[in-house]
Amino acid sequence: MRDKGRRADWAAIVLGFAVGLSWIWHGMYGFSGGMFFLLGLGTIFAAVLSLTRPAAIASELGVLAAGVLLFVLPWLLGFTHILAAAITAWVGGGLLIALGVFGVVMAAKTHKRHPELAWNNHHDAGVTTRTP
């Protein structure tokens, strides 16, 4: 029996939810708060794709990319002086980077064992689009 997803993917969903709503407790509004919301939403989307396709490396790379972008966000947008927002970005980004790296390694192993769980092998599902 297959697991209902890796715990790292579930942790990425929870962390994406926390990052997406973090603008509420650190008071970042405007463009910066919107970036927190969008990065959280993107993390949730990539982690849900990882749950549904455990051998797809691209979705794990999405979690990794969101983590890197979140980590450098205080320097890119210039809010390192707002300590609560900066710490949220640095800690959340570091955790997402760790989850993304772990997910890429696990997805690569799953892809070797079960390539049918990736994106590219749907052509042998028994459905044809050709007309006779």
pLDDT at 1 (0 to 100): 35
* Residue bearing the bigger pLDDT, 124 or 105: 105
What does the alpha-carbon distance between residue 100 and residue 42 come to, in Å, rounded to a whole number? 13
What does the alpha-carbon distance between residue 112 and residue 10 come to, in Å, rounded to a whole number? 22
Average pLDDT of the residues in 110-114: 75
* Residue bearing the bigger pLDDT, 125 or 1: 125
User: In a 3-state reduction of DSSP, which class is residue 91?
Assistant: helix
In the numeric block, the tokens 């650190």 are attached to 26
pLDDT > 90 in the chain, percent: 54
CB 2 within 8 A of CB 96: no
End-to-end Cα separation, the chain, in angstroms: 39
* Residue bearing the bigger pLDDT, 7 or 118: 7
CA dihedral 48, 17, 66, 42 (to 10 degrees): 50
Whole-model pTM: value is 0.81
Q: Is the pLDDT of residue 10 over 80?
A: yes
* Residue bearing the bigger pLDDT, 4 or 59: 59
Q: Is the pLDDT of residue 122 over 60?
A: no
pLDDT, tens only, 56-83: 888 899 999 999 999 999 999 999 999 9
In the numeric block, the tokens 């849900």 are attached to 48
